[in-house]
Amino acid sequence: MTGKPPPRGGAGKGAGSRGASRGPRPGGPGKPGFGKASFGKAPFGRPERARTGPRTSALDAAHRAAGLRGEDAAERSPWGSTQGGSAQGESAQESREAPPVRERAPRAPKAGLKPAFRSDPSRPGHNPAARGKAPPPPPLEGPTRREQRAAASATLASGVQTLTVEADEAGMRIDRFLTTRFPQLPFARVQSIVRKGELRVDGKRAKPNDRLEPGSSVRVPPLKLDQPAERPRSPLRDRDDADFIRSLILYEDADMMVLNKPFGLAVQGGSGTVRHVDGLLEALTGPDGQKPRLVHRLDKDTAGCLIVAKTRLAAATLAKSFRSRAARKIYWALSAGVPRLRQGRVSTYLAKEEPTDADARMRVAKHGDEGATHALTYYAMVDQAAQKLSWLSFKPVTGRTHQLRAHAAHIGHPIVGDPKYFDVENWALPGGIQNRLHLLARRIVIPHPRTGHPVDVSAPLPPHMAQSWNLLGFDAARYDPIVDAPES
């Protein structure tokens, strides 16, 4: 009787938690002055089966001629070892009921055979202890977690594989999880994989912003991509990159740092993007292999405060602060025209015009539209230059793609230098003002990942905005009324 093959493994139960989308909050703001704007498993294949039929008389004759019996004959038989797993062959060999063997005195081997064939130490695979009751060798220690990830990153996943979410990756977005496991995989490619349903979490389709639970099984499709031609790293290059990153630090401790991201520097790589913050952070990798991690993103042409975590635990804690809206952000912008309401609230739904494009323009959508998410922003006018330009301060409650740029255009006052959303007809750029996006992540307040105390950091105006402020006579030290805006 042959042993039954082991059952195939099934998919694990449970699915990654999904972030719940919030709808618009009813009711007006809590403080006066801010009214609602009027416009406003195992590898595939069958296991090898051991052959259990009777041996041919020719094979028995060969065994008798060589003086081999019982266990020795099984060792020398081509059926005694199965290709792809000897355990199955042994199990089938032991489960077969063999007829009793009559004990006979050993006889000398026939001429032409090596007399000491069975005990020849030079024979390949010779191991006398294997036929006794010697204990099996101890199992080899498996590769460490760092070695596993390095191998996956180096090969860029030549085929389908299943990854397990570790405890310190709990709550991580599925797209961030992939970029962490495969650093050289472009972020646009990650978004495409998830959007097309090629990735599964516990057997179910996932969205880019879905959150992962510890122990979840993530099935990753083949990621056969042409490796980008990267410059070989050198100590000189690493030193220059490290010095550049350190020159941007506004705040730093053992757990986190806040960078003053300059205009024009991308946060992550993409099509045609070679130099970006995420790549520069490689130069700050510590002796333990820990690389500083991005916690949130800014648009390429948006300057200002960018938070970076130094450890995985700090990254997970800071990311939770953003999800729970415990982080408070203030942005400054130079907009065309002057709002009729000096302070207001913009509440809309936003969706991509081209769902397949990671950097597509956002449009104001209706509730229930495919891909539409709620976006809420408070704004306040700090100063103005006649009726031509206004200094607006924004406090976003949600964090949608291009939220502030889309909302500024929605209320009729797009941000100066915005190539996607500036649509004022017959509008001429005043002399001395550069045609660059005038948007600054001015200030951020977030609980410290270890102590919980608030970390409050402000960024200075980038050079092109400082030039405009000086030209228009704006005082950057002036009181910003947006601080009194509601937090939700």
Q: Which residues are catalytic?
A: 299
Pairing of strands 293-294, 373-385: unpaired
Give the Å distances, CA to CA, from 171 to 10, 18, 19, 286, 313.
Answer: 24, 9, 9, 24, 11
Q: Which of 280, 252, 256 is nearest to 266 (CA)?
A: 280
Q: What is the CB-side half-sphere exposure of residue 224 using CA atoms within 13 A? A: 4
d(CA 303, CA 369): 32
Closest CA to 149 of 278, 9, 41, 291: 291
Q: What number of CA atoms fall less than 13 Å from residue 288's CA on the CB side?
A: 6
Question: What residues are paired with 293 via a beta bridge?
Answer: 309
Nearest-angstrom CA–CA distance, 368 and 274: 38
Instruction: Count Cβ atoms below 10 Å from residue 449 Cβ, excluding itself.
Output: 24
Alpha-carbon span 65 to 24, nearest angstrom: 88
Contact 332, 392 (CB under 8 A): yes
Tokens 């769902």 found at: 355
Residue 375, classed as helix, strand or coil, is strand
d(CA 295, CA 307) in angstroms, rounded, equals 6
DSSP 81: S
- Give ∠ CA 226-232-236 in degrees, rounded to 5: 155
Query: Which amino acid type is present at position 341?
Result: L
Closest CA to 484 of 285, 330, 257, 299: 330
C-alpha span between 304 and 330 (Å, rounded): 10
Q: Tokens representing 255?
A: 């757990």
What helix, strand, coil percent values describe the chain, rounded to 5? 25, 20, 55
Residue 384: which of 413, 404, 405, 410 has the closest Cα?
A: 413
3-state secondary structure of 286: coil
HSE, CB side, 13 Å, CA atoms: give it for residue 141. 3
Place of tokens 């449009």: 363
344 and 379 Cβ atoms separated by less than 8 Å: yes
